[in-house]
Amino acid sequence: MKLKIDQRRLSAEIEMLAAISDAEPPAVTRIVFTPADLRARAWMISRCEEAGLAVRQDAIGNIFARWTGANPAAPAVGTGSHIDAIPNAGKYDGVVGVLGGLEAIRALQRSGFRPSNSIELLVFATEEPTRFGIGCLGSRLLSGTLSAEAAAKLKDRDGQTVDEVRRKAGLNGNLQDVKLAKSYYKTFVELHIEQGPLLERAQVSLGIVKSIAAPASLRISVEGSGGHAGGVLMPDRKDALCAAAELILAIENAARSSGAVDSVATVGVCDVFPGAVNSIPSRVGITLDIRDTDLARRDGAMKSIERAVETISKKRGVVIQTELINADAPAECAPEVRTALAESCREHGFPFLEMVSRAYHDSLFLSRIAAAGMLFIPCRNGYSHRPDEYAAPDDIARGTLVLAKSLAKLSS
């Protein structure tokens, strides 16, 4: 089998998709089910159809593009990622796995290879948490990690439910039907940029993921009491922002003091009410994102944050409420996928690193229903989720080649 990646076409497609965006280039903004995202999805579907793939969408908007194998009843070999993008993002997060996955399939078609198991490209819907506050909504539903009832009720910032938004986008199916049977996929492989600096530092252009870190997130509201910035004296204050500030530092400390580099905690949102220069903040909303490769360690850090919540609310006379958005377990990548990736690298003489994915991906959830794994390529300075995110065309092509080879092995 002579496999050749059309690097020029792949690079051109990455640029074309980046142009379908709500931000000034080079930034990309593509929030799920906005007009830009819907245009991008339609463009993606037409590319898949051009490649002769049979395309279908489910009720949450996951797109499946299938190259039917000689044994169509056998479980499929899946690959894919996402094309939605957070505000002011880059061109490569998710996109490399989708367009690289499509090019891997086209390269296999051109080589004359004929799969036994069907090979399917999966474009996950609403991977980014921007709109509905929870990441990987599409793959959570596919894997049954989140129930259809719970998903339907999630709301965006304008108060529209998932159900309303998806129906407006023309997705009228039943959310109950999104969940896949465990026999649907034999294996699943996701190609992705690393979103960290380790491959670049090691000057190795491929990473085979061993495990994916366990994420959890909380919404926290702090209720104090407002008042005039001049009139209310300091001993009488219940400043919600000062209480939130103390809590944010306690959150930082919970991750720093765990003793492991894999423990990370972030507060990335802080809404202050009423948000006026001469008014004491009466209410603050923050979000907590906490991750670890070790579930017990992550849960330990969450416990220490809970204790801080109690201490701070007592000390400052404020009411702090926490709402758990998600608390997921980590995943080990499947040995058969790791082996196929490693063999493919070796056959081409490409060195690789074995590594941990500290970001989480749709593969974390696919691993609940299929043997799943991931292949990383470097991104410059480890930058991601910013407009200067960059992956070199050679690295993208190399990752795509290893992906194609691995899909061939897994579907033979």
Beta carbon nearer to Zn ion, 98 or 108: 98
Residue nearest Zn ion, Cβ-based: 94
What is the size of the binding site for Zn ion (CB under 5 A)? 2
Q: Cα separation of 77 and 117, whole Å?
A: 6
Binding of residue 389 to Zn ion (CB under 5 A)? no
Q: Which region among 61-69, 90-98, 275-283, 286-294 touches Zn ion (by CB under 5 A)?
A: 90-98
Instruction: Give the nearest distance from C-beta 81 to Zn ion in angstroms.
Output: 6
Instruction: Give the nearest distance from C-beta 164 to Zn ion in angstroms.
Output: 26
DSSP letter for each residue of 274-326: S--TTEE--EEEEEEEEEESSHHHHHHHHHHHHHHHHHHHHHHT-EEEEEEEE
Beta carbon nearer to Zn ion, 247 or 331: 331
Instruction: Give the nearest distance from C-beta 102 to Zn ion in angstroms.
Output: 16
Evaluate whether 292 touches 264 at the Cβ level (below 8 Å): yes
Beta carbon nearer to Zn ion, 93 or 120: 93
CA gyration radius, the chain: 23
Q: Cα separation of 14 and 35, whole Å?
A: 19
Q: Cα separation of 235 and 161, whole Å?
A: 43
Beta carbon nearer to Zn ion, 320 or 391: 391
Instruction: Give the nearest distance from C-beta 94 to Zn ion in angstroms.
Output: 4
Q: Which region among 71-79, 93-101, 275-283, 297-305 touches Zn ion (by CB under 5 A)?
A: 93-101
The count of other CB atoms within 10 Å of the CB of residue 176 is: 12
Beta carbon nearer to Zn ion, 94 or 224: 94
Q: Cα separation of 144 and 204, whole Å?
A: 36
Among positions 69, 94, 101, 135, the unique one binding Zn ion when judged by CB under 5 A: 94
Q: Cα separation of 89 and 85, whole Å?
A: 6
Strand partners, 376: 192, 207
Instruction: Give the nearest distance from C-beta 93 to Zn ion in angstroms.
Output: 4
Beta carbon nearer to Zn ion, 80 or 94: 94
Among positions 13, 37, 58, 93, the unique one binding Zn ion when judged by CB under 5 A: 93
Helices 95-111 & 393-411, crossing angle to 10 degrees?
60
Q: CA angle at residue 175 from 171 to 181, to 5 degrees?
A: 120
Q: Cα separation of 356 and 368, whole Å?
A: 18
Sign of CA dihedral 233, 236, 240, 244: positive
Beta carbon nearer to Zn ion, 74 or 356: 356
Instruction: Give the nearest distance from C-beta 135 to Zn ion in angstroms.
Output: 9
Instruction: Give the nearest distance from C-beta 83 to Zn ion in angstroms.
Output: 10
Amino acid, res. 278: N
Evaluate whether 312 touches 167 at the Cβ level (below 8 Å): no
Q: What residues line the site for Zn ion (CB under 5 A)? A: 93-94
